[in-house]
């Protein structure tokens, strides 16, 4: 059984003529002029410890995604001797459920 996949011939003809990743990147991001070295000098590594948080929305019960993102945030903080906050807030009164 053949599966029909619509093709954009203009896009595919351009891709078939390209041979390098640089050509594809220039097609997708034509106005990017900074190199990785430029960005690294513009935004140097921070010397402070990592501060992370998990802030579930007050729209109901916490779910598995909240716990998973909290575990990842806690892992990043503890491996760098940083701080992990659990932020419980009720500022989203429009979506608050009782």
Question: Residue 92 contacts by C-beta under 8 Å, 6 or more apart in sequence?
Answer: 57, 58, 59
Q: Which one-letter DSSP state was computed for residue 51?
A: E
Residue 15 inside a domain? The answer is yes
Domain encompassing residue 32:
9-42
Residue 78 inside a domain? The answer is no
For residue 43, how many C-alpha atoms fall within 13 Å in the half-sphere facing its CB? 4
**pLDDT for 2 beyond 60:** no
Residue 68 inside a domain? The answer is no
Residue 56 inside a domain? The answer is no
Q: 52 pairs with which residues across the strands?
A: 84
**pLDDT for 93 beyond 80:** no
Give pLDDT tens digits for 10-53: 666 666 665 678 888 888 888 988 988 999 999 888 778 888 88
Max Cα separation, the chain? 59
User: What's the structural domain count of the chain?
Assistant: 1
| pLDDT of the residue at 68 | 92
**pLDDT for 64 beyond 60:** yes
Residue 69 inside a domain? The answer is no
Residue 37 inside a domain? The answer is yes
Residue 61 inside a domain? The answer is no
């Amino acid at each position: 059984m053949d599966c029909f996949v619509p093709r954009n011939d203009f896009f595919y003809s351009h891709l078939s003529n390209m041979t390098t990743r640089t050509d594809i990147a220039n097609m997708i991001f034509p106005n990017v002029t900074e190199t990785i070295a430029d960005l690294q000098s513009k935004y140097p590594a921070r010397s402070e410890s990592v501060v992370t948080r998990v802030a579930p929305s007050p729209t109901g019960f916490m779910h598995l995604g909240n716990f998973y993102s909290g575990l990842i945030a806690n892992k990043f903080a503890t491996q760098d001797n940083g701080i992990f906050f659990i932020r419980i807030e009720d500022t989203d009164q429009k979506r608050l459920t009782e």
